[in-house]
Amino acid sequence: MTELRAEIDRLDRLLVRLLSERQRYIERAAEIKHKRSDIRDEARIADVLAKVGEAAKSEGLDPVLAEAVWRVLMEKSIALEMAAFEARVSRVPDRP
């Protein structure tokens, strides 16, 4: 059991690294977008879920689990992106 837990811990560290990388892209997206309405993109959400579902099936991951995880991930990412966007636009001085 100790070896299994060590491998799970190793995978958790890898997932944290990958999620950190993903977060940096989310933060970059907040810098690029011009309107709040650009942040939540329902078509993109559907596209990501479809791709994740297919990847899950091909990798032997329960697609129901994958969808649930990605829905939470995307909602938290959208919230993070919105906060970063709001912070950016609040720093921009009003133009005369």
Tell me the CATH number at 13.
Answer: 1.20.59.10
Query: Torsion-angle region of residue 41: left (phi > 0), alpha (psi -120 to 50) or beta?
Result: beta
Residues 11-40: tens digit of each pLDDT? 999 999 999 999 999 999 999 999 999 999
**Nearest C-alpha neighbor of 89 from the set 9, 32, 48, 44:** 32
**58 in any annotated domain:** yes
Cα–Cα distance measured from residue 33 to residue 26, given in angstroms and rounded to the nearest whole number: 11
72-77 average pLDDT score: 98
Domain interval for residue 24: 2-91
Question: Total domain count for the chain?
Answer: 1
**Nearest C-alpha neighbor of 23 from the set 86, 90, 76:** 76
Q: Could you tell me the pTM of the whole model? A: 0.85
Say if residue 52's pLDDT is above 60: yes
**96 in any annotated domain:** no
